[in-house]
């Protein structure tokens, strides 16, 4: 063999060297290409989950608002009935949008849960509209409905593998924006509904004050968790810091201010001077700031996955 190689012409020796080099490089190259293809496929799967996840969060936001408006209306605020009816129509549209985006995701296993969610919502909305349910029962049924929506959101996250991103910046961002932040909005949404109800009635029992105080304490704990997770994301990714840092600070500030108002005007107040409608509007504005942060974070995630 050695003799054969020695006697080869020079251009054939070069050809043989090139062939050997190509063979040596082929296996590592194939591994590299396969890795890149896997990353691209994973990115496409995660990107496909952003739309349904965003639609689910919008549905949660609107259902939370309907819960609060229903509490006010059933608690005696006549002006809240028209607002509640308009909000019901928004929830109906949001449910239709979720159904469409779920179909696009191909999450067939989630279809029965979505159908059950739609059925339960129609029954609840009809009961509230017909005034055949008391305010406490309406609140409890709304809260159970929202918990089912959170479970469906978790199913979307699992199907699209959004929570499995290997990049620290986007991994922590997904955890914050699809985990801790929605939990905070739900706690504050419950504070909004319960607070609006007692302010509409103009009185509150010791248990009702204690419930709102407990929710405020839970909200502060959730604020710390989401803020810490967001900071991990921003520290790991300078691009995310430039886009989201100010909005994270605004969301924290707005939440803290509203929690102070709830404590002063409801939990510790000897007499109520704040109108239920004004409290509801202020709390809604604060929660909307949290969802504005969600929207900005979704755009940042979309850009990262596109890259």
- pLDDT average per 10 residues of sequence, the chain (307 residues): 57 62 58 45 58 90 94 89 96 93 72 90 96 94 95 84 69 84 92 91 92 95 89 84 87 92 94 91 93 86 74
Return the pLDDT at 38: 41
d(CA 110, CA 114): 6
pLDDT of residue 166: 65
CA distance 138 to 67: 7
CA atoms of 72 and 74, how far apart (whole Å): 6
Q: Phi-psi category of 161—alpha, beta or left, where left has phi over 0 and alpha has psi -120 to 50?
A: left
Quick one: pLDDT at residue 20?
65
Q: 85 φ, ψ to 5°?
A: -65, -45
Three-state secondary-structure class, residue 283: helix
Place of tokens 């296993």: 109
Q: Find the distance separating the first CA and the last CA of the chain, reported in whole Å.
A: 50
């Amino acid at each position: 063999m050695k003799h054969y190689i020695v006697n080869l012409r020079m251009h054939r020796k070069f050809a043989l060297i090139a062939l050997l080099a190509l063979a040596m490089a082929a296996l590592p190259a194939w591994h590299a290409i396969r890795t890149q293809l896997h990353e691209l496929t994973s990115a496409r799967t995660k990107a496909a989950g952003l739309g349904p996840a965003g639609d689910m969060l919008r549905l949660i936001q609107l259902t939370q608002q309907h819960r609060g408006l229903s509490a006010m209306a059933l608690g005696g605020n006549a002006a809240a009935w028209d607002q509640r009816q308009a909000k019901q129509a928004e929830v109906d549209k949001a449910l239709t949008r979720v159904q469409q985006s779920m179909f696009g995701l191909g999450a067939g296993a989630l279809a029965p849960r979505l159908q059950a969610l739609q059925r339960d919502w129609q029954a609840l909305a009809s009961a509230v509209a017909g005034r055949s349910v008391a305010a406490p029962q309406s609140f409890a049924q709304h809260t159970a409905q929202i918990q089912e929506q959170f479970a469906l959101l978790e199913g979307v996250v699992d199907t699209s593998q959004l929570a499995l991103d290997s990049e620290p910046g986007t991994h922590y961002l997904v955890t914050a924006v699809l985990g801790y932040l929605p939990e905070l909005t739900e706690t504050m949404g419950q504070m909004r509904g319960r607070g609006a109800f007692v302010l509409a009635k103009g009185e509150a029992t010791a248990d009702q004050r204690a419930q709102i105080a407990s929710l405020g304490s839970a909200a502060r704990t959730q604020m710390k968790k989401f803020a810490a997770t967001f900071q991990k994301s921003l520290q790991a990714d300078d691009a995310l810091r430039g886009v989201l840092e100010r909005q994270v600070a605004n969301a924290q500030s707005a939440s803290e201010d509203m929690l102070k108002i709830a404590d002063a005007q409801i939990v510790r107040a000897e007499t109520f001077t704040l109108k239920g409608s004004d409290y509801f509007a202020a709390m809604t504005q604060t929660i909307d700031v949290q969802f504005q942060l969600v929207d900005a974070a979704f755009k940042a995630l979309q850009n990262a996955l596109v890259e």
